[in-house]
């Protein structure tokens, strides 16, 4: 949601597993297993294809102003096959790459910074949007932040949670927004749950936010319904 208008500007893809025997399996259970076993690569690949299919559907239905964000695992990111796969999918679904945002964590980005820098540059050349996810929680280097071809940083929910009560979190979030803007990057706050948090982020000139205040995770089919609703009132406006 855009902080200044309250309008929905996009969505993030989250994976859920509903199993006939196990019921609903939490991502915190199956993602680590997928990471360890290497299954995360075909799984991530499938997610990318699903995301592109959804974007193509939105594009067809006049919803081409929306952005869809997809999380990349460290393995997908460093595997070497990513560019080729993305090229194939873009060609197959005919989507505008600028509507797809790829998210990587700081830790994944910093695993091999030179490789990351190259890959991000290639992705940008193709027109994809790029975001650093869970910013502030992993190992990162501010020196690399300015070298990476990214569009956005996503401030981890851990800093946003107590923004109204914890002066340290408030300072960190405000400073991160300032730093990002000075580097020409936009800022998304994750895990926003209250109007007061929204108000704070808006006062500090944050750009966008996501979290339970706006919506809980929902199936893509319900999202169509959700974006038709009027924008939430902007705090203090």
Taking the least distance from each CB to Mn ion, the nearer of 105 and 197 is 105
Radius of gyration over every alpha carbon of the chain, rounded to an integer in angstroms: 18
Pick from 11, 40, 41, 71: which binds Mn ion (CB under 5 A)? 71
Q: Please give the residue whose beta carbon sits closest to Mn ion in the complex.
A: 133
For 163, the enclosing helix (H) or strand (E) is none
C-alpha 53/C-alpha 67 separation (Å) is 13
Residues linked to residue 132 through DSSP beta bridges, in sequence order: 104, 153
Q: Shortest distance, CB of residue 167 to Mn ion, whole angstroms?
A: 27
Tokens standing for 100?
Answer: 């797809």
Q: Considering the rule CB under 5 A, would residue 101 count as an interface residue with Mn ion?
A: no
Taking the least distance from each CB to Mn ion, the nearer of 106 and 133 is 133
Number of C-beta neighbours around residue 16 at 10 A:
11
Q: Considering the rule CB under 5 A, would residue 106 count as an interface residue with Mn ion?
A: no
Q: Considering the rule CB under 5 A, would residue 103 count as an interface residue with Mn ion?
A: yes
Q: Are 130 and 94 in contact (CB under 8 A)?
A: no
Indicate the burial class of 77 (C-beta count within 10 angstroms; 0-12, 13-18, 19 or more): buried
Q: Shortest distance, CB of residue 71 to Mn ion, whole angstroms?
A: 5
Q: Which of 186, 226, 227 is nearest to 209 (CA)?
A: 186
Taking the least distance from each CB to Mn ion, the nearer of 103 and 106 is 103
Q: Shortest distance, CB of residue 60 to Mn ion, whole angstroms?
A: 26
Segment lying near Mn ion (by CB under 5 A), choices 36-44, 98-106, 110-118, 197-205: 98-106
Tokens standing for 13?
Answer: 């893809």
Segment lying near Mn ion (by CB under 5 A), choices 65-73, 93-101, 108-116, 228-236: 65-73
Residues 118-137 that bind Mn ion (CB under 5 A): 133
Residues at the interface with Mn ion (CB under 5 A) = 71, 103, 133
């Amino acid at each position: 949601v855009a902080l200044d208008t309250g309008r929905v500007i996009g969505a993030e893809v989250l994976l859920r597993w509903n199993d006939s025997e196990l019921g609903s399996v939490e991502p915190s259970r199956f993602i680590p297993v997928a990471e360890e076993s290497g299954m995360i690569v075909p799984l991530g690949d499938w997610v990318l294809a699903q995301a592109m299919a959804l974007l193509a559907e939105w594009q067809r239905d006049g919803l081409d102003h929306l952005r869809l964000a997809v999380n990349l695992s460290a393995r997908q990111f460093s595997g070497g096959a990513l560019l080729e796969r993305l090229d194939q999918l873009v060609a197959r679904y005919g989507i505008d790459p600028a509507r797809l945002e790829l998210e990587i964590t700081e830790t994944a980005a910093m695993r091999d910074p030179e490789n990351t820098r190259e890959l991000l540059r290639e992705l940008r050349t193709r027109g994809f949007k790029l975001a650093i996810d869970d910013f502030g929680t992993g190992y990162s280097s501010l020196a690399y932040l300015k070298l990476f071809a990214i569009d956005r940083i996503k401030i981890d929910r851990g800093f946003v949670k107590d923004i109204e009560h914890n002066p340290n979190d408030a300072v960190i979030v405000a400073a991160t927004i300032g730093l990002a803007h000075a580097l020409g990057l936009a800022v998304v706050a994750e895990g926003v749950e209250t109007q007061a948090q929204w108000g704070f982020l808006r006062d500090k000139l944050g750009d966008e936010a996501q979290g339970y205040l706006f919506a809980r995770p929902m199936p893509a089919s319900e999202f169509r319904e959700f974006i038709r609703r009027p924008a939430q009132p902007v705090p203090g406006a």
